[in-house]
Each structure stands twice: as C-alpha cells, then as structure tokens.
Chains A and B, each alone.
Chain A
C-alpha cells in the first residue's frame, strides 16, 4: 500500500508526462504481480464502488479526531476534499503496516461491503490505525469510490508495455473491455503475443484520437494531402461485429450496446468480422438532432418507445478497422474509407451513414466551409492525412499518421461576474468557479458557469477581488459586487426554459479578463438572443 501511495504522490505531484511515465515504470518494474494488477486497474480509471457511505466515514472520523461538527466542516471547506480532510484530522496511526496493495484491496476493502454498524466501524478504525497519512488518503479515496489520478490509460499502457518490452497497442487491446485485476491477468498482460489473440471476440481497438489544431492549416502542407470531414457532436463509438455477437463500445471503453438497441440491430445486419469506428448521433431526416436530444436520451433509465422516437440513434461511419475478420488498420486511409463506403452501400440502412467528405480546392475554400459548421450542427472539421494508418491513442506526428480537429471559432460575449464558488482538487482553496450574467434592462441575469481559461496568476487576482467584494455568503457560494467583466466563449447556444435567462450555452469558458470594461459595458440578453437566432438549434 505504501508503495502505491508513493506512486500516487509522484503522479499527483507532477504535470510532466515524462516524470509520470518514469514513476509508473519504476512501480511496474518492482511491484508484485497482484499489486501491479490492481494498480493497472485503478490507474486506468476503474474504481471500486463506494463500500462505505460517506456519512458513516465522516461521522466516525469526526469522533476519532474529536472535533466538533462545525470545525470538521471548516476544515473540509479549506481542504476541499473529504478523503484528504479525514487523513489530516485523524490521530496518528498506532501501527506501521506494510501489507501489499492486493492484500488491502482483496483482504480488507472488499470485506467492508458486508460489514455494518459496529463491525464496519471496528474495521475502519483498524485500517486507519495501520496507515500513515498518504496511505490513509488513498484508502479513503478507494473506499468512497472517489479514486482519481491524473494519468491517462494510455500512459499506464505505455509504462506496462515498456517494462514488458511489448508493443503498446497490444497491451492496450489486452486491456480493452472488462479486465479483471488478478495476478494471472497481469501476467497475461505482460506475456508475449500469441497467435490466436486476434480472434478474441467483442473487443474494440484502441480509439485513434485527434488533436486540436495547434497551427495554421497552411502549415499542414498541400490540401491534396488531406481528407476533410465534419466533426460531429455525438458519442464516439466502435461497433464490433465478431464471433456472431454485436458490441457497441464508447470511447471510454464502456459497453453501451443495451442503451442503443437500434444500433445493436444494425450490427446484426453487418457481416461477421466487421469493426466500424464512428459517431453515434441522434439522427432524423438525414441530419443530426441537437446534442441535447441525445443527452436527454442518455439520461433516461427506461427506453420507452417515446424516448426512442424522440431521439433515434444512427451511426455515422468514420473508418473501418476490421473487414472480413482482418485487422486493416495499417492500410492507407483511402483504402479503409473505400471499404467503409462499400459496406454502407451494401447494408443500405438509414441508421448507417458514411461521414461525408468535405471538399475544397484550397485551404481558404475549406475555411469558408468550416464557417458553415455551426449552421450544420457540427463542431467544425476533422482533417485526416491521406495514406495514413489508423493509429492508437493520441499520436501527434510521425508514421502513426495525423488527425486534427479544426473546430469553429467560439461564440462570445462580455459578461459580469456575479457569483463565485471554491474550486475542487488542487484549487479547493481558491474561488475558481464563476457564474456570469448579462444585462436585461438594469438587471443582471445569470446565464453561464465557467471555471476554466484563466492563468494561475489571474485566478489569484480574481480570487483576491472576490474576497474583497463579497456581498453575501451562501454556503460555499459568494455573491460578488458586479464589477468584473470577462469575455466568455462557448461552442453553442440553445433555448432553455429551465434557465432564468431562457438560454443555455454549451461548453462555456473564459476567454480573457476584460479589465478595460466596466460592468455597464457588458453585453445584454438581447445580444445572446441574436446569437441564438443566428445559430440554428
């Protein structure tokens, strides 16, 4: 447990990918298989369900720490994280145990699920008595189902692959789907590749991800080298038809076949040994419905006929990864796309659409088309290098090929800061979550919450402003004298009767501080309404 706590601290302390990779390699090079298995499991985003109710944990910790409830709450407000607050407040441990991670998880954590009341409390106290502060923090995170760490599954995959001397893609594939954290499966993860591995059924390939374009399109070279498509605003999926079964996987490696019966049905019409990479969209009359329609559907527990009818799902195909049981990812992009087009035509199902190519004679022409993106209900353009293979993960350059997201410019308005709330995690002690308002007559109407886009120095400046200009406090939220103007960008705008402003914006973020503007210079609700009219829902 201590070793894993040290790894967690090392990963948590740095933003450098190289430093994280080095820490991971060091861990996997030395950890016992059973521990490494759990480490892979947790670090790639899996976590045990909460085994102890937060309330129970909090009450017990408060009693052990012997502080009144209000002081516990003040501490929690300052720390911003319950697991950490408890780790700091508990009395010093009485024993110095160094049981393995696997022993802690299998022997102690999972056992908590069956315990109640006194037995549960006794087990929790015994655990805390055995752990030093960093390990307690980790333990608290694990038993409350709140474990998170800033590494990507891809980085963990890479570390394991490097330690085992394997191709990261192979490790990534082995990790796909429901991977069980046992010593045996960790050994299998690190084992040399065997011939039948390709014939496993159901598992998707690692998704190839695009980067946001960080240069001018001209720098990409001649437009002839590139294939452009719309960047659809739905759920990225792989439809895997293999071994007589149909599996729909989301990019988060979540199996969502049951949520989309119409695509499961579509899968049965595809030939066995097919894997399509594409975007799942709510789709009607040859065009996408707004993302909100899909969102509502995801939120529904029961897939009634009405729900299915309100947001029928379709698959817009981007790429073909497997054809007639053969992995074709290494083939040139055009070949895969031609095969996909053939498949779409052959199946002839309105729920299966080829993502259409966007063609222009030059970059300027393409830029003009990109300007229409919002009107078409897409986020912008995808640029894929012709001839490139289908890579794994977020490969930027080199032989892995290149995919770029070329999103439309944001919509923006100048708005006034009216409420502020403390941040979470590393910003728990600062006011970093802001609510912004625009004018309706002489009244300020809140319309967006945003918490990203400022530099650390700006955040400190705004934090100091908020503390000096607080009007009222409601729990963690403060209302602030409306003086500070910021430019707020967003990717979309919709009517919303649920909001006081009657408007909901999508992906709002702070573009910059407008120190040059006074509150009176901020935009009005009418400005937002005009944007709404200019942008079809």
Chain B
C-alpha cells in the first residue's frame, strides 16, 4: 500500500487534481475550477463552475458548451491559482490546445493534454516545456506508428483528389470535424476544384477563421446550386457521416479516411473506404519520445493510449514512469478509436 500522495497532481474520481491550487485539469466530472487543455469533448466537458483555457479555444468551447464562465489566457502568461503558478503552452494538437505547466514551491509539472510535433499551419506549434514531472498522452504509443512528413501526406491527398476530379468523380474525405479537418483544408490545393464541407466541419472552419487562422474558401453543400460541380469537388465530412444520405448528392464518389489509425492495413481495410491517409492530431512514437526527452522530466505519467507499453518502455529507459487511468480518449477525438482499433487502452 502506498502512503497518502504528496504529489502536486493526483488522480481522483473527478479527474486529475491539484490540491495545492484546488483545481482540476480536464476533469470528467463537474468541479468548481477546471483548467482545459483543449476543446475536444473528452477533455472539455460540461458542468464545471469555472473554466480556464487558451484564448484561441474560446470560440469552439463556447460553441460546444454554451454559456460557460470562462477565463482566457495567452500562451506563457502565468495565472495564480491559490498560490500555485499555472501557465499554458502550445501543444500543437488543435486550435487553442495547450500543455498546462503547474509550479508550486519550486516543483514543476507539465500536463501535455493531447499533442503533436508535426507541422500544422492551423495551430501554434508544440513547444517543449521543462518539468520535473511530465504527464503524456500515448494514443499512438507503439513504434509502428511513425508519420510521414506533412508535405508528403498532403501531396498524397491532393493527388488522390486530382485523379478523382480528372475522372469526373467527387472525393469524400472523412476526418474529425475539429482540428483534423481544418488542417487538411489548409493543405488542399484549391486549383483542383471546390472544397465542400459538411455542416459540422463548416461550423469549426468559422471558429478557426474567427481566431485568425487563414483557410482556403469552403462551401456548404447548400451553397452549390449545380450538382455537376461536385464532380470536381472534395467534400470534408466527419466520420459519423459515413453511410448517411448526406453523401447521396455526390453520385459515384471515391472516399477516404484521414487518421493515424490508417497506418495499419487492418484498420484501413476495416474502415471500408477506398483510401486511408495517415494524418494524425497526435504525436507518433518518435514524437512522443522527443517530447518526453525535451521536457527533461525524470518522472513521467502516461495517460490514454498504449499506457502499459509506454510505462514499461520509459522505465527501461531509466525514467520513473507510471500510469494515470484517465477517461480521456473516449469521445470525438481521434484517440477514441483506440478502444475499437488500437490496443487495450481507454
């Protein structure tokens, strides 16, 4: 049996709790004070009394959670919560995503939330933050997950779209509506044809534009009067649109799915689409190792993903590695597919 924890952050039934500052980070049950890493719904839930998040997350958070009491901060600007110094730092995951740096009596913890190291023009790039203890996600915590460079991935998406357009066939690209979709849109080549978006995606495009992120022009399907225009179009839709009547308007189309899970042939085939593009909001295996190393932390807590694998690996690398059994990775983020397609996590 372990002694009562004196850690700055500990796991409680409500979520990850900082007792010294009396606040939670991404809690899953309603609490008084919630610091939010990003607006994916497994990290930003309803019912908290007060929220603290990055300024760029405001639009999406309010869109999702309605009229909440929300304090916004800039990256790097510290906030004092009951004597504990809290600041947010870019996580490179989606618009307004942050790592949470927590400092009390000279001890520093960094909670990564979700993050990626790959280039993404739609959000601030990940910045390593030094910490004594680093809390990392592990959605793609297996060495088989290694992403190709961004430009290569986007070129393959554009090539696929161009080939379809040349054949007079619409391209339907399924991607998570918040984050993934905008990153793809930003990389599309609008000279190929019109970019059409499902309502769920377009709402988020607007939030991105409002936050000052430039995106090429996009259309809602209702904006397209002449259906023959769809034959050269690419349509972005959330995975939930798969198999719905929304797709009928596109006639005979080719479809694709953009997700880190598409790395594996089994997942690609099971998805039942023509193409799988390996594009993820999360760090790949080398990315996870880099982030952990650059945090300089000697102690690492691993959350949602391949937790036991990462804990064992990091232990063998000489770190004090442990697991946090969180409830992240259970909803609309890419990580939720871990339960169905990946390992035993979540």
Task: State the A residues within 8 Å of B (CB).
Answer: 12-15, 19, 65, 67-68, 70-71, 74-75, 78-81, 84-85, 88-89, 137, 423, 425-430, 456, 460, 463-464, 467
A423 to B143 CA separation, bound complex (whole angstroms): 21
Q: Give 8 pairs: A residue, B residue, CB < 8 Å, sorted on A.
A: A12-B265, A68-B316, A75-B144, A78-B142, A79-B266, A88-B263, A429-B270, A429-B343
Q: Which residue among A70, A71, A137 has the maximum number of chain B CB atoms within 10 Å of its CB?
A: A71
Contact present for B264 and A78 (CB under 8 Å): yes
Q: B200: CB under 8 A from chain A? A: no
Q: B107: CB under 8 A from chain A? A: no
303-324 of chain B: CB within 8 A of chain A: 306, 309, 312-313, 316
Contact present for B342 and A429 (CB under 8 Å): yes
Return A43 CB to nearest CB of chain B, in Å. Answer: 17
In order of increasing CB-CB distance, the 3 nearest A-B pairs are A426-B269, A88-B144, A428-B266
Given A78-B342, A78-B343, A84-B265: A426 and B144 interface contact (C-beta under 8 Å): no
Contact present for B309 and A430 (CB under 8 Å): no
A428 to B340 CA separation, bound complex (whole angstroms): 11
Listed stretches B17-25, B180-188, B272-280; interface member: B272-280
Instruction: Write out the residue numbers on chain A whose beta carbons fall within 8 Å of the beta carbon of B339.
Output: 464, 467
Instruction: Write out the residue numbers on chain A whose beta carbons fall within 8 Å of the beta carbon of B342.
Output: 78, 429
Q: B268: CB under 8 A from chain A? A: yes
Contact present for B270 and A426 (CB under 8 Å): yes
Q: Which residue among B270, B313, B344 has the maximum number of chain A CB atoms within 10 Å of its CB?
A: B270
Instruction: Write out the residue numbers on chain A whose beta carbons fall within 8 Å of the beta carbon of B159.
Output: none
Beyond known contacts A78-B144, A79-B144: 4 more, CB 8 A cutoff: A74-B343, A78-B342, A84-B264, A463-B340
Nearest B residue to A422, CB-CB: B266
Q: Which residue among A19, A425, A429, A464 has the maximum number of chain B CB atoms within 10 Å of its CB?
A: A429
Q: Which residue among A70, A84, A426, A467 has the maximum number of chain B CB atoms within 10 Å of its CB?
A: A426
In the complex, which of the residues B266, B272, B306, B341 contacts A425, with contact meaning CB atoms closer than 8 Å?
B266
A137 to B267 CA separation, bound complex (whole angstroms): 16
Instruction: Write out the residue numbers on chain A whose beta carbons fall within 8 Å of the beta carbon of B306.
Output: 74
Q: B146: CB under 8 A from chain A? A: yes
Return B24 CB to nearest CB of chain A, in Å. Answer: 26
A467 to B270 CA separation, bound complex (whole angstroms): 19
Contact present for B309 and A71 (CB under 8 Å): yes
160-194 of chain B: CB within 8 A of chain A: none
Instruction: Write out the residue numbers on chain B whose beta carbons fall within 8 Å of the beta carbon of A15.
Output: 272
Instruction: Write out the residue numbers on chain A whose beta carbons fall within 8 Å of the beta carbon of B312.
Output: 70-71
Contact present for A464 and B265 (CB under 8 Å): no
Task: State the B residues within 8 Å of A (CB).
Answer: 142-146, 263-270, 272, 274-276, 306, 309, 312-313, 316, 339-344
A428 to B266 CA separation, bound complex (whole angstroms): 6
Given A13-B275, A464-B339, A467-B339: A75 and B267 interface contact (C-beta under 8 Å): no
Instruction: Write out the residue numbers on chain A whose beta carbons fall within 8 Å of the beta carbon of B144.
Output: 75, 78-79, 85, 88-89
In the complex, which of the residues A19, A67, A70, A427 contacts B270, with contact meaning CB atoms closer than 8 Å?
A427
Given A12-B269, A425-B269, A427-B266: A460 and B316 interface contact (C-beta under 8 Å): no
Given A13-B275, A13-B276: A71 and B266 interface contact (C-beta under 8 Å): no
Contact present for B146 and A430 (CB under 8 Å): no
Instruction: Write out the residue numbers on chain A whose beta carbons fall within 8 Å of the beta carbon of B265.
Output: 12, 79, 81, 84, 137, 425-426
A273 to B265 CA separation, bound complex (whole angstroms): 48
Return A161 CB to nearest CB of chain B, in Å. Answer: 24
Instruction: Write out the residue numbers on chain B whose beta carbons fall within 8 Å of the beta carbon of A80.
Output: 266
A65 to B263 CA separation, bound complex (whole angstroms): 17
A19 to B276 CA separation, bound complex (whole angstroms): 16
Contact present for A429 and B143 (CB under 8 Å): no
Instruction: Write out the residue numbers on chain A whose beta carbons fall within 8 Å of the beta carbon of B264.
Output: 78-79, 84, 428-429
Instruction: Write out the residue numbers on chain B whose beta carbons fall within 8 Å of the beta carbon of A84.
Output: 264-265
Contact present for B269 and A430 (CB under 8 Å): no
Given A13-B274, A78-B343, A456-B272: A426 and B146 interface contact (C-beta under 8 Å): no
Q: Which residue among A88, A423, A460 has the maximum number of chain B CB atoms within 10 Å of its CB?
A: A88
A68 to B315 CA separation, bound complex (whole angstroms): 13
In the complex, which of the residues B142, B269, B340 contacts A74, with contact meaning CB atoms closer than 8 Å?
B142
Instruction: Write out the residue numbers on chain B whose beta carbons fall within 8 Å of the beta carbon of A85.
Output: 144
Instruction: Write out the residue numbers on chain A whose beta carbons fall within 8 Å of the beta carbon of B316.
Output: 68
A464 to B330 CA separation, bound complex (whole angstroms): 12
In the complex, which of the residues A14, A19, A88, A430 contacts B341, with contact meaning CB atoms closer than 8 Å?
A430
Return A432 CB to nearest CB of chain B, in Å. Answer: 10
A464 to B344 CA separation, bound complex (whole angstroms): 10
Return B269 CB to nearest CB of chain A, in Å. Answer: 3
Given A75-B143, A78-B142, A429-B266: A467 and B344 interface contact (C-beta under 8 Å): yes
A532 to B96 CA separation, bound complex (whole angstroms): 66
Contact present for B269 and A13 (CB under 8 Å): yes
A460 to B306 CA separation, bound complex (whole angstroms): 19
Nearest B residue to A86, CB-CB: B144
Contact present for B344 and A89 (CB under 8 Å): no
Instruction: Write out the residue numbers on chain B whose beta carbons fall within 8 Å of the beta carbon of A78.
Output: 142, 144, 264, 342-343
Nearest B residue to A66, CB-CB: B143
A442 to B313 CA separation, bound complex (whole angstroms): 44
Q: Which residue among A79, A137, A425 has the maximum number of chain B CB atoms within 10 Å of its CB?
A: A79
A428 to B263 CA separation, bound complex (whole angstroms): 13
A12 to B276 CA separation, bound complex (whole angstroms): 11
Given A13-B275, A456-B272: A430 and B340 interface contact (C-beta under 8 Å): yes
Nearest A residue to B254, CB-CB: A19
Nearest B residue to A478, CB-CB: B344
Contact present for B269 and A460 (CB under 8 Å): no
A71 to B314 CA separation, bound complex (whole angstroms): 12
Contact present for B266 and A74 (CB under 8 Å): no
Return B173 CB to nearest CB of chain A, in Å. Answer: 15
Return B312 CB to nearest CB of chain A, in Å. Answer: 7
Contact present for B340 and A460 (CB under 8 Å): yes
Given A19-B274, A65-B143, A78-B144: A13 and B268 interface contact (C-beta under 8 Å): yes
A137 to B265 CA separation, bound complex (whole angstroms): 10
